[in-house]
Structure 1
Amino acid sequence: MDEVLIDDRGAWRVITLNRPDRLNSFNAAMHRALATALDAARDPACRAVLLTGAGRGFCAGQDLADVAVTDGAAPDLGVTIDEFYNPLVRRIRALDKPVVCAVNGTAAGAGANIALSCDIVLAARSAKFIQSFAKIGLVPDSGGTWLLPRLIGDARAKALAMLAEPIGAETAAGWGLIWRAVDDDQLRTEAEKLTAHLATQPTQGLALIKQALAAAATNTLDAQLDLERDLQRKAGRTPDYAEGVDAFIAKRTPNFTGRAS
């Protein structure tokens, strides 16, 4: 069975974590397959990506059986993070197009933080987000300690990380952890509709938005103002900017191509 499924819809594609019998928990093979799928999505013909999970959950994080130690020695979990999780988060964040995540069911541990690394997160109302690391004496990884305080503030971030209590999709949306909670039977439809829409938008401009927002987390205001100037200069030179202006003046729907030049 393929650990990751790819459904190419032309201008966008669906990437599905496919270990449903293990709640799509990560092993090395699934990491490698997902890395390959995300690298393939860099194809300019692909203008948006939808990430989701097969079965009754999005992702339960690390498959602990895959990092089990049999000789009694303490494991070096940093190796797994260096080899797999950190590169995965960096791939998602650096992808020069929107990445939508549809969280179906549980997103736990690294699975929760990988979902939160995506640009727009939709979740089924029955979905749960769990920073489960503290239950086994670990620290939130996959960007969790960076994402949580920025998304929901220190107080909530510390409580989620230390108590490891699940929160539902509606609470996550209310806190600003995710974009929206939707009815379970509408999740896939809404996520596909959103991704298909993003694939018709000015892709280069969206990529520059990602770049600007990512830099804002560490930039001073002066540095961010300069970055906005530089990125706006790039955006203004794209064919989609010219098309957007022409369409606005003509009062018609723009036909964006997503091309850089």
Structure 2
Amino acid sequence: MTSESITESESLYNDLENMSVRQLLESIHEEDRKVLPAVQQTIPQIEKLVEQVVERMQQGGRLFYVGAGTSGRLGILDASEIPPTFGVDSDLVIGMIAGGDQAIRKAVEAAEDNVELGWQDLQAYQISKLDTVVGIAASGRTPYVIGAVRRAREHGILTACVTNNPNSELARQVDLPIEAIVGPEFVSGSTRMKSGTSQKLILNMITTSLMIKLGKVKGNKMVNMQLTNQKLIVRGTRMIMDELGYDEGTARQLLLMHGSVNKVLEAEKGK
């Protein structure tokens, strides 16, 4: 079955250079409005993935994002924000990009075309059957990503993908395909736009749901966040004041002593 390359199809708009700035902005916004309904259609598949990853993480498993270009950068972005937001180790969610860290800022030529490199990069982490690999590729045909998920699946590792074309080779190589069909890009083939937006939304949904189900959120508060700046110390202090009724000075002192809101709550309620 040949995949339909919607991501490479012609824009619905023409003569962009002749549009006014207002026309450009309103047209881009009109296209962006199509992203949310497309993401909503993927929720059942995201649900299946999250439920299975939670079980694996409870046994020590990790989540790997594998991508190239914009898709790889979005995976790294999502993974890098999990430790400070939820207070977990940096090796719980890991983002990988074709070409390595240098490719985060500048393209590394031909790295994404190497079908063996993705699996090689995964092996550096001693990947196991408790782990999960999510390949991210708007086109659904990036060799680096396809090779990684194919080999992972051969080794009994749970695999999924986030893509923006239907019936892609990438989707055929994973256990749980997530296909957000957002349509042609405003600038033909520029998947940093709608496709990238849909990918970021989906990755946010995956990891936020995971962290909540793993007990890293209380009520609606990030009680395990790292206290890396004054803004977060103030936020944590207010959480303790609201939860325990303490004055600001006491709440702040306890927060700095214990290192997180959750540890304060556990210590104080255990008295």
Alignment TM-score, normalising by the size of structure 1 = 0.30
Higher Cα Rg: structure 1 or 2?
Answer: 2
The answer to which structure, 1 or 2, has the higher relative contact order (CA under 8 A, 6+ apart) is 2
Greater strand share, 1 or 2? 1
